Amino acid sequence: MSDIKKVVLAYSGGLDTSVILKWLQETYQCEVVTFTADLGQGDELEPAREKAKVAGVKEIFIEDLKEEFVRDFVFPMFRANTIYEGEYLLGTSIARPLIAKQLIELARKTNADAISHGATGKGNDQVRFELGAYALNPDIKIIAPWREWDLLSREKLLQYAKKNNIPVEMKHKKGGSPYSMDANLLHISYEGRHLENPGAEPEEDMWRWTVSPEKAPNESETIEIKFEKGDPISLNGKAMKAHELLAKLNHLGGKHSIGRLDLVENRYVGMKSRGCYETPGGTILLKAHRAIESITLDREVAHLKDDLMPRFASLIYNGYWWSPERLALQTLIDHTQINVNGWVKLKLFKGNVTVIGRDSESDSLFDTSIATFEDDKGAYDQKDAVGFIKLNALRMRIAAKIKK
């Protein structure tokens, strides 16, 4: 352990990383550099700085990564309409490669010997952080306290914090261990407590971004999103930076009870896990992006994307953002987005996102003269369908004759 003189810790200021900070100082007798990524989680940032100062940390890095996060990670993921196991919009997963990247950069900048994170030995995040770190620096040393110490429960962490005078915010009014939470501009996740029972209904006061459907407005709200090369660039006619646009969609979605998810998912390490998520802006974006693609993408290109999407989602969920296969798929996906330009109108109402219009001035493949139910003036010869159907039915007709 003596060869570790300085460690860069991914630090949120929450229970786990506050305990880890003290544990690293005691166990490794090393200097700890804290790194807190501002991904849009809000008021956790300055308390994290103060906690680190109180703990004797000399080098404290709090970096505003909101625009980079949404522009270079969230939006490229959404170009593929990425969801994991049919529902999860990967809010935690997509933040990890950026954090890993910054940890490696800060380790180089501060001449640190190692990096450390607060992911448990049971979860996905340990894999995501470490795969990303090794992809960017194959010789980096990684300290994962959850795989070394004996503080293997939330209650033991709280006891350690109390013993060492580490302040911990209790995020539940009824006391006890707080939820294990992760927040960024794309989502908030909740795990632990009674959520570990998949049959238990989430408590209403757990949710932070979204109101319940019962408390949502009784009138719908219509919004318009404009896309350029697959990415949203304006909302209701106002051009916005990537992180500003997502933040505004979060506000609108939360107001209308959009984006709640209660999910039992399959972790990469093999176990099933129950988590609850709030992803209001992402839920709206997914609906809008598919809508603009519906009129701008060739049929076979669209279907190819849908075929590849589950693989792409698994790569992100499992921590392979920096892998050559993810980068190769991203090149293909980005190429499909060249003509994904136009606008989409959506109606928000009590948990629902409904597309009510979409168009593209320059790239729409929707040809009214052919698709019309009225007289198409010869644009489409319906007699052509006879040969088309017979040729496509040929193999089935041959098989049917044999069965006779």
Q: Of the given ranges (92-96, 168-172, 322-326, 331-335), which has the lowest mean pLDDT?
A: 168-172
Q: Which domains does the chain have, with CATH numbers?
A: 6-66+91-177 (3.40.50.620), 188-359 (3.90.1260.10), 377-403 (no CATH)
What's the rounded Cα separation, in Å, for the pair 180 and 154? 9
Question: In whole angstroms, what is the distance from residue 345 CA to residue 332 CA?
Answer: 27
Quickly list DSSP for 299-311: HHHHHHHHHHHHH
From the CB of residue 142, how many other CB atoms can be counted at a distance below 10 Å?
16
376-402 pLDDT tens trace? 888 999 999 999 999 999 999 999 999
Per-residue pLDDT at 1 exceeds 80? no
Nearest to 61 by CA among 14, 101, 103: 103
Instruction: Give CA separation, 198 vs 87, 180, 257, in Å.
Output: 16, 16, 22
Burial class (CB in 10 A: 0-12, 13-18, 19+), 172: middle
- Residue 2's pLDDT band, with cuts at 50, 70 and 90, is low
The residue from 12, 93, 116, 180 that is catalytic is 180
Helical (H) or strand (E) element with 402: helix 384-403
Catalytic residue among 12, 79, 93, 96: 96
User: pLDDT digits over 230-253, tens only?
Assistant: 999 999 999 999 999 999 999 999
Q: Residues 169-175: contacts with CB within 8 Å, 24+ apart? A: 169/14, 169/47, 172/206, 173/205
Cβ neighbours around 387 below 10 Å, total: 9
**Per-residue pLDDT averaged across 352-361, rounded?**
98
Looking at residue 177, its pLDDT comes to 45
User: Can you give the pTM of this predicted structure?
Assistant: 0.93
Is residue 176's pLDDT more than 80? no
Are 257 and 212 spatial neighbours (Cβ–Cβ below 8 Å)? yes
From the candidates 12, 16, 93, 177, give the one annotated as an active-site residue: 16
Give me the mean pLDDT over the 181-207 stretch: 94
Does residue 180 carry a catalytic annotation? yes
Q: Which of 18, 79, 116, 125 is labelled catalytic?
A: 125
Ramachandran region, residue 350 (left: φ > 0; alpha: ψ -120 to 50; beta: rest): left
